[in-house]
Structures are given as structure tokens and as C-alpha cells.
Structure 1
Amino acid sequence: MATILLASIPLSFLLAFSSPILVLLRQVPEISMAAQSYTRWMIPSLLPFGLLQCHFKFLQAQNIVFPILFSSGATALFHCLFCWVLVHKSGLGFRGAALSVSASSWVNLLQIVIYVNFSSSCKATWAGFSREALHGLGEFLKLAVPSTVMICLQAWQFELLMLLSGLLPNPKLQTSVMSITQNTCALVYMIPYGISAAISTRVSNELGAANPKAAKLAIFVAASTIIAEGLVTGSTLIVARNLWGHAYSSDRIIVKAVASMMPWIALSHCIDGLQCVLQGTVRGCGRQKIGACLCLGSYYVVGIPASVLLGFVFHIGRKGLWIGNICAIFVQDLMLLIITILTNWEKQVAMARERVQSSVIPSNSA
């Protein structure tokens, strides 16, 4: 939580003055100013979102998941109402949408904080704030930094696709369609993302319990589940391709353009799910450095160059940009799968034991 608090400060400045950066990247000034206006209203959500992730992981590590489900569900209901009021009734427009996200993040955090502090389930694991929290900070950062880099490299690649779409002819149309495409992808991504968090926790717990067979079984179950989910969700996206765009826009051109992108979204979702499971496995093993290197190579050595080549050289446009993204996901899937198959799980158990022992607070400092 202390690390996230410090990281939120420079991130706030980046959000507050994002327009000059976007203009420098050759984006349309009008769109850049609107984006800056939106992100400034998103600044209050930075801290609660980060703290919320800390609480989520704290509870997930103990297999306490229902409080997270209930608080997230209650927050979603609150957000729907609050977003509608702020967007349509307050006159804030898209700024109201950003403000509603910030408010919802604080509401969700408040619920989880109350649960952690007053629930009997956390009495044995949460004893309040202490200087002892700084013990093992170096070991924590060794995992945290490459894990952050791994996730950021993947997320930033999507943002680069958005920036590249702004360089195509008719940038307002292209960025609108790419925005809907990415929002759709993010929406269905929450399913494999949840399974990724679960398999990460499960693998780390089983390795810590010296049970490598259970860890391998968990990976197999997660992979089988996510493949089935990908086929069902991908098929649904294709069937509903002519209707989906209406949820975002009444412009027929945009709706038609979104429909043409849906099969590619479906394909990327099918293969991205396996990537989530394998990335969760990597994190559960404490091998974040390997994951970060694979993200860097697959997205920035393969994905972005392929997107530029297909989108601008071969003039396939936004479809070319997204196909480049699919190429990156496929390469990462292949590399992560090879690493997982070749993993020595008994060795991972020994390494997990070493990490636990190194993080134990010495008795003379208690």
C-alpha cells in the first residue's frame, strides 16, 4: 500500500497534463484536450484502485473471495445509478463518467476495508499497521517491479494501438471504433482475468504447501476452463456482431465498422484467455522477470511492428492493427506454454520455500 501511494503521485501528474503528450504523439488536438479533461477527473480513482488491489490479493491469498464478490456487485449497482446521474443529469457529460468511476472505487474500497478490519476471518492475518511492514521490502520489489512491468507492457501495447489508430485516415472514426473494440475486449477479458488471479493464488499456495502435483492439476483445470469459455464467448461475439455497436453509438457507420471488427475480437479473446492462465502461473511461481521479458518481446518486437506493417504499409487499417495484436498474443501463448511444460515443479517448491523463509520477520525484531 505504501508503494502504491508513492506511485500514485507521479501518475497523477501524467494524467493531469496528458494533452501535450498526446499532441506530441501526433494525436488530434481536440481529442487530446477532451482526453485530458477526462483523465483529470480520473485522478481521484488512482489511490483507491491501487489500495483495492492490495486488499483483494490479501483476501484471495486466504481463499476469501465472497466478500470481494459481494462488494464488487454492490459497487456495480451503485456505479450504474451514479454514472447515469452524473453523465445525463448533472451536465458533466463524459467527465461525469470519470467522476463516477472515482466515486465507485472509493465505495468499493470502503466496503473491503470495513470487512478486513472487523471480520473474524482476518483477525489472525491482519494486525494493523506496523514498521515491520518494511521488512523484506527489497524482496517484495524484486517481485513487484517485474510483475508491474509485465502487466504494463501488455496494457501499454493496447494504448499504442489506440494512438496508431489516430494516425489513420478519418481519425475520429478510427479512434471511436478502436475505443469500442478495446472496451469490448476489456469487458470479456474480465473472465480470464479472474481465472488468472485464481490460478496465480492457487499455484503459489500449492507450491508453498510443497504440493507440486496439485499446482499442475490446477493449471490444467484453469486452462481447460478458459478454452471452453473462449469458445462460448467468442461465438457469442460473432453472433451478436451486428447488434453490439448500438450499445455504444447510434451512428450507422460506427456500428457497421464495429461489426466488422467483432470476429477479430473473438479470435483474440480465444487465444488471450490461455495467455491469462499461463501468466497467472508465471506470477504464482514468482517468475515475473521471465513474464516481463516475454511481454516485451511478443508485444514490442512482434506485435507493434506487425500492426504498423499491416495497418500502414499494407493499408489494412484498424483490422491490420488488431491482427498485429493477435500475432503478439499467439507468440506469447506459445512461449509461455513451452516454459510451463518444461518447468521443474519440485524446484519451484524449493524456491517458494526460500522466499517464505526470507520474508519471515526475525524474532528479535518483533
Structure 2
Amino acid sequence: MDDSKSPLLSNQEKREDVGLVNEIGEESRRLWKLAGPAIFTAICQYSLGALTQTFSGQVGELELAAVSVENSVIAGLSFGVMLGMGSALETLCGQAFGAGRIRMLGVYMQRSWVILLVTACILVPVYVWSPPILVFFGETTEISHAAGKFALWMIPQLFAYALNFPIQKFLQAQGKVSVMAWVSAMVLVAHAFFSWLLILKLGWGLTGAAIVLNVSWWLIVIGQLLYILVSKSDGAWSGFSWLAFSDLFGFVKLSLASAVMLCLEFWYLMVLVVITGRLPNPLIPVDAISICMNINGWQAMISIGFNAAISVRVSNELGSGNAKAAKFSVVVVCVTSMIIGVICMAIVLATKDYFPQLFTNSDAVAAETTRLAIFLAITVLLNSLQPVLSGVAVGAGWQSLVAYINIGCYYIVGLPAGILLGFTFGLGVEGIWSGMMGGIFLQTMILVVITSITNWNKEAAEAESRVRKWGGSAAEH
């Protein structure tokens, strides 16, 4: 009897294995269809600042430090706030789209514009008073004044962020990521040429850098907005509406929770640059750590692409009540992202003697950057998974919970450990970075556990409740 059943069981197991492989393949195809253009878009947009930093580094060490600090600290703070506030749309638009409430998306985007434009006005004083702020946090007077002057010129970029992120979340929720990719690619090509022309060829230095960077960000906003206005986005855009000003208080609460969660992540490694500025003779360490953060930022764009993809997949599936598909998508994207992280880590280690030369003509800065490459490689690996798990949290609407986890892991454990190792134990930038990597590792492990024990059926029910709560009927009529 056992012998007669064995072939049947074997065939059934084979069919199950083939079915699982097909499911993985299909889910991977869905993820890459979203993640591919999203990664490309993120890399193009990140490259705007990175290219500006690279061209500025060819002008001089002070210019490199000024652009690096403004990019990573001042603009980094604004980027984190704006992306975080806009990420409320990933939850709301994604779940509304999954539930078939298409016309709600345009109203949500307009509400987000109102909130983010007000937030941008609130952030303007940070740009205006950035020199004393940077000095207060330990940056040298020379670097602070150079970065502060550049920050004043970059205020237009702040308002471009306010419009850009809601537009992107609006398009992402519908899977229209290729539009963002095309617009960003065309702008990047123009940005590279005009950066060379104004910064190096015409010798405009930081003034030229600011002009090109501001114009490039506004071209991205205008290009995407034109697509939405012309195409109507398959019914998701039905024109400007006074509904944009309704339910703002509740919308602000979710936006703030999203902002706190993502800002605590974005600012964490930004703080690394600031703390390094308190070391003795900080110019070379600041330049070296800024180059490493630049490279880390490029790799993080891959993870941010997967962050966007998994957020869309989870929110869409939960919005349509498909809990099993949401859970399966999480597993596939985590494995995929970890594989990519290992590859990126290997590339960093293999090129550690060469990539610093792309960012600086200073031998001292290049040597310091090469010495820090091992820390960069480990950070790259950790950051391959962490943003993906954050994307799961945004898709499911767990922003408030993750914000508390981030405060504990990053600012109660990681940051004090880094300061203790770097200054008290005299390990310098290596000690600061090591302690902060410990915070990232702890946060990632906690998110892995939370994701593993989640009741996805309950999450699907909460998504249905959320769609009803945010005025679907009002927005549709």
C-alpha cells in the first residue's frame, strides 16, 4: 500500500513545487514591474544631488564639504520630512486603489499638497539660519558658513519636494512608475550637461550648482504634473477640488506619523556626518564620510525602489482583502532585496581603492574613504533589508509603531553607542559608525519579528475600515 501511494505523493509534491515556483516567479514579475522603474527613478533623482556634489568636489575641498553638508544635513532634513509626510499617501492611495475607489486618489494628492506646502514654509527658517544651526551641532565655522550660503540658494528645491512626493505616491499607487522614470531620466541627462557647463566650464562654482539643481527638481515636478493633467490618470484625477481642504486634521495626523517614522531613518545617517564634524581636524573625515554616505545613498535608492514596490503591493492587496497575497509578497521582496544587498556589498569591497577618486582630487580624503569602506560595505548590506521592511509598514499603515521602534533603536541605543565608542573610547569615525550600525541591526531584527508574527487577515480588515473612514463616498460623488 505504501509503495502504491509513494508515486502519487511524489507527483503531488512535484506539482506543489512547480506551483510554488510559478507563484514566486509571478510575484517577482509584479514586484520588478514596480520596483524596476521606481529604482531607476530614485537613482536618477538621487544622482542630481550626487552629481552636483561630484562636480563641486572638483572645484575644491571646501566646496565639496559645503555641498555635502547641505545635501546630507539641510536638504536631507527637508527630504526626510517631505518624503515622510507624503508617504501617508502610500497607505491611503494604495489601499483605496486596491478597493476600487479610484477617484479618491486625486483628492488625497491635493490634501497632501496643502499639508506639504505649509510644512515647506515652516522649514524655510532652517535654511535661512543654517550656519548657526550647523555650528551648534559641532560643524566648523568655515564649513557651516559655506554650507549655509549654499542652503539659502536651495530654498526653491524645498518647495519642489513639497509637490513632487505627493505626485509620486499618487502615480506609484496606480503602478504608473514608468512615467516617473522617463521624466527623471531626461532631467538627469540635462542636469549632467549643465552642471559641467556652469560649475566647471563657466566657473560659476556653487552658484552654478544651485541654479542647475533647483531647475532640475522643478522640471521633474512639471513633467509629472503635465502627464497627470493631460492623461487624467485613468480617472484618478478629476480636477482640483475643495475636498482637498476637508478632513485635513486626520490627514495631518497620519502624515505626521509617516514623517516621524521616515525622518528618524533618514536623519540617522545624516547625524553621522554632523557628529564627525566634532572630531579634531574634521575637514578630511567629513569629506570621507560624505563620500561614503553618497555611495550608500546610491545603493539605498535600490532599496527605496523595493520600498515603493512592496508598499504598493501590500496596500493594494490589503485594500482588496487579499491577506495571503500580501504576506507572500513580503517574503519574496525580502529575499530579493537581501540578495541584491550581498552583491552591492561585494562591489563596494572590490572597488574600495578606486571609487574615492571619482569624488575628490585630494589624496588624503581618498585614503580616508578607502579605510572606511568596510563600514560602508556592512551598512550597505543592512540597508538592503531595512527600507523594505519600512515599506511593508507603510503599506500596512504601521507608521506610529515603527516610529517608536526607530526612536528606541536609533536614538536610545545606536547614537549613544556611537558617541561613546567614537569619543569616550577614542575610536573616532569608525567607533561612531560602528555604534550606529548596531542601531540599524537592532531595528531590522525587530521589524523582521513583527512582520513574521503579523495577522494579515486582521490587517486586511483594518484596511477596509481605513478606506471607509477617509471619506470614500464623499470623494467619489
TM-score, normalised by the number of residues in structure 1 = 0.96
CA deviation after TM superposition for structure 1 residue 361, in Å: 4.6
* Structure-1 separation of matches of 2:301 and 2:399: 21
**Deviation for aligned residue 1:81:** 1.1
Tell whether 2:157 aligns with 1:48.
no
Please say if 1:342 is aligned against 2:453: yes
Code of the residue aligned with 2:343 in structure 1: it is: V
Deviation, 1:363, is 5.1
Of the three residues 202, 208, 216, the one matched with 1:96 is 208
Give the whole-Å Cα distance in 2 for the aligned partners of 1:94 and 1:303. Answer: 34
Alpha-carbon distance between aligned partners in 2 of 1:347 and 1:153, rounded to the nearest angstrom: 27
Matched letter for residue 363 of structure 2: R
For 1:15 and 1:298, locate their aligned partners in 2 and report how far apart those are by CA, in whole Å: 29
Task: Confirm whether residue 77 of structure 1 aligns to residue 189 of structure 2.
Answer: yes
In the TM superposition, 1:134-145 aligns within 5 A as 134-145=245-256
Structure 2: how far apart are the matches of 1:216 and 1:361?
26
Q: Which runs of 5+ in 1 are unaligned?
A: none
Give 1:298 deviation, angstroms.
Answer: 1.0
Q: Check conservation: 1:223, 1:274, Cα contact below 8 A.
A: yes
1:38 is aligned to: 150
1:85-118 Cα shifts (integer Å, max 9, x gaps)? 2211343313422332211101111110110011
Alpha-carbon distance between aligned partners in 1 of 2:476 and 2:266, rounded to the nearest angstrom: 40
Instruction: State the alpha-carbon separation in 2 of the partners of residues 150 and 173 from structure 1.
Output: 32
**Residue range with higher mean Cα deviation, 92-101 or 160-169:** 92-101
* C-alpha separation in 2, matches of 1:43 and 1:56: 21
Which structure: larger Rg? Answer: 2
- Which consecutive segments of 4 or more residues in structure 1 shift more than 3 A? 361-366
5 Å matches for 1:212-231? 212-231=323-342
Q: Which residue number corresponds to residue 160 of structure 1?
A: 271
Contact residue 177 and residue 254 of structure 1 kept, 8 A? yes
Distance 1:363 1:173, change over 3 A: closer
Structure 1 residues 352 and 79: alpha-carbon distance in aligned structure 2, compared to 1, 3 A threshold: same
Distance 2:253 2:137 in 1: 32
Query: What secondary structure, in the 3-state scheme, does the structure 1 residue paired with 2:353 have?
Result: helix
CA contact (8 A) 2:173 2:312 kept: yes
The 1:243/1:350 distance shift into structure 2, 3 A limit, reads same
2: CA distance, partners of 1:364 / 1:25 = 46
* Partner AA of 1:251 in structure 2: S
The one-letter code of the counterpart of 1:144 is S
Letter in 2 for 1:103: V
- Residue identity opposite 1:167 in structure 2: R
Residue pair 1:207, 1:352 contacting (<8 A) in 2 also: yes
User: 2: distance between equivalents of 1:149 and 1:4?
Assistant: 14
1:210 counterpart = 2:331: no
> What SS does structure 2 have at the residue aligned with 1:250?
coil
1:126, distance to aligned residue in structure 2 (A): 0.3
User: Contact 2:137–2:275 at 8 Å: present in 1 too?
Assistant: no
Tell me, in whole angstroms, the C-alpha distance in 2 between the residues paired with 1:96 and 1:64: 33
Write the mapping of 1:198-347 to structure 2, written as runs, cut at 5 A. Answer: 198-347=309-458
Letter in 2 for 1:149: V
The answer to whether the Cα contact below 8 Å between 2:243 and 2:475 also exists between their aligned partners in 1 is no
The reply to whether residue 62 of structure 1 matches residue 174 of structure 2 is: yes
Correspondence for 2:223: 111
Q: After superposition, what is the alpha-carbon deviation per residue over 1:185-216, rounded to whole angstroms, capped at 9, x for unaligned?
A: 11111000110011111101100010011111
Amino acid at match of 1:43: I
Q: CA deviation at 1:258?
A: 0.6
2-structure distance, mates of 1:226, 1:320: 27
Number of positions where the alignment pairs a residue of Structure 1 with one of Structure 2: 365
Cα deviation 1:156-205 (Å, max 9, x = unaligned): 22222112111111111111111111111111110001100111111011
**TM-score if structure 2 supplies the norm length?**
0.74
RMSD over aligned Cα, in angstroms?
1.5
Kept after mapping to 2: 8 A contact 1:132/1:361: no
Whether the aligned pair in 2 keeps the contact of 1:147 and 1:291 (CA below 8 Å) is: no
